[in-house]
Amino acid sequence: MGGLMDDRGLTLKRFIKPWENDEPCEVTIVQKSKSVWIAVGTHMGKEVRVQGRSANSAAALWRDAAHSRSN
C-alpha cells in the first residue's frame, strides 16, 4: 500500500466479508480529499483497490470488487 497514507486525511480500518461465509478481510480506507476515499485490502492473495465518494461507498465498492474477483 505504498503511497496510500498521508497526513491530511482520515484513515479507517474495517473488516469486510466479500461473501457471507468468507473470513473477514482487513480493509484500509483513506480519505484523500473531501469526496475521495480509497479502500485497499487483500482478498484471496490479491490486492483490491477502489475509490468511492465516502468511506461507506468505498467499503461497499471494495466488497463488490472482491466479490466479483472471486467468481
Domain that holds residue 22: 11-69
Mean pLDDT, residues 23-38 taken together? 96
Mean pLDDT, residues 60-65 taken together? 97
**Residue carrying the nine cell digits 497514507:** 5
Domain count across the chain: 1
Q: Give me the pLDDT at residue 9, please.
A: 80
59: in domain? yes
d(CA 23, CA 48): 16
4: in domain? no
The answer, yes or no, to whether residue 1 has pLDDT greater than 60, is no
6: in domain? no
Q: How confident is the model at residue 3 (pLDDT cuts 50, 70, 90)?
A: low
45: in domain? yes
Q: Residue 68 in contact with residue 43, Cβ under 8 Å?
A: no
d(CA 42, CA 25): 7
**What CA–CA distances, in Å, run from 25 to 9, 12, 21, 48?**
22, 14, 12, 11
Mean pLDDT, residues 22-27 taken together? 93
Q: Give me the pLDDT at residue 40, please.
A: 98
